[in-house]
Amino acid sequence: MKKPVFAANWKMNFGPQETRTYLKTFLDAFPKTDDRTVIIFPSAISLVVAGFALRDRPDILLGVQNIHWEEKGAFTGENSASMARDAGASVALVGHSERRHTFGEGDEITAKKCAAAFKAGLTVVLCVGEKLEERDRNTTQAVVLRQLKAGISRLNSAQIARIAIAYEPVWAIGTGRTATPELAQEMHAFIKSLLDLPVLYGGSVKPENAAELLAQPDVDGALVGGASLEIDYFVAICEAAVRSRS
């Protein structure tokens, strides 16, 4: 049995106080385990508090939602990978669709961010996924291939071996519309035919659909946005999914 990965992307939610409260309840509800990996991606402003709350839980990794590709300098409002590492993160989320499509970050920026993450000692969850019009034009695989190639273009093979991919069809993120398990499986198998890496599924994962998605042979975990804001939902997703594999 593969060890599944469950990542919570809190997006722009939960400042330090709420982070402390969430994690206290979450840790009580989710006892230490070595049969799955959990990653929490809080807001950058809550990283230090989250790191402190997780200090006795090495089974739960801390990630940063976004980094700048430069190490330091005149980039008002940005955080570098080394600053995120210093704040307790060990993973960086790169290429999330909100970064790509809301903030206009293209493949070149994604590539630079992946390289910056490794330079600072972080690993990467690289997000890829097509927009609805790209799926309708039958260009899904070409888009995902392009995003993957760009994402790893500045990494060496040892670094590539340490990343995880998150396949997140843009039309399923925050929309309540989930890819069918078959569609997710098809794309995960495609990605794995290119890169032998863990592939998480993201896009409106909920307690009701997690088990079915995770039961697919090439779905190695989930990247959860909206549902991760509810502690009970996120715990249920992690548990439903593990049950479906045992």
Q: Measured between alpha carbons, how far is 102 from 246 in angstroms, rounded to an integer?
A: 39
> Tokens 């993160």 appear where?
89
Q: Measured between alpha carbons, how far is 69 from 114 in angstroms, rounded to an integer?
A: 8
**Which residues make up the interface to ligand PEP (CB under 6 A)?**
9, 11, 96, 168, 173-174, 202-205, 223-227
In the complex, the smallest distance separating the C-beta of residue 201 from ligand PEP, rounded to whole angstroms, is 9
Q: Measured between alpha carbons, how far is 89 from 82 in angstroms, rounded to an integer?
A: 9
In 3D space, the residue among 170, 175, 178 whose CA is nearest the CA of residue 219 turns out to be 178
Q: Which is nearer to ligand PEP, 117 or 154 (CB)?
A: 117
Q: Which is nearer to ligand PEP, 39 or 154 (CB)?
A: 39
In the complex, the smallest distance separating the C-beta of residue 98 from ligand PEP, rounded to whole angstroms, is 7
C-beta nearest to ligand PEP: residue: 225
Active-site entry in 96, 98, 105, 130 = 96
Which ranges in 87-230 belong to alpha helices (H)? 97, 107-119, 132-136, 140-152, 157-160, 181-194, 207-214
In the complex, the smallest distance separating the C-beta of residue 194 from ligand PEP, rounded to whole angstroms, is 21
b vs e for 90-129, b when ≥16 Cβ sit within 10 Å of the residue's Cβ?
Answer: ebbbbbbbbbbeeeebebebbbbbbbbbbebebbbbbbbb
H or E element that contains 8: strand 5-9
Q: Which is nearer to ligand PEP, 45 or 229 (CB)?
A: 229
Q: Is residue 70 among the annotated active site residues? A: no
In 3D space, the residue among 93, 86, 88, 48 whose CA is nearest the CA of residue 67 turns out to be 93
Active-site entry in 98, 105, 130, 168 = 168
Q: Which is nearer to ligand PEP, 7 or 154 (CB)?
A: 7
In the complex, the smallest distance separating the C-beta of residue 219 from ligand PEP, rounded to whole angstroms, is 13
Q: Is residue 96 among the annotated active site residues? A: yes
Sign, Cα dihedral of 195, 200, 203, 209 = positive
Nearest-10 crossing angle of helices 181-194, 207-214: 50
Q: Which is nearer to ligand PEP, 123 or 204 (CB)?
A: 204
In the complex, the smallest distance separating the C-beta of residue 7 from ligand PEP, rounded to whole angstroms, is 8
Q: Measured between alpha carbons, how far is 6 from 228 in angstroms, rounded to an integer?
A: 10
Catalytic residues: 96, 168
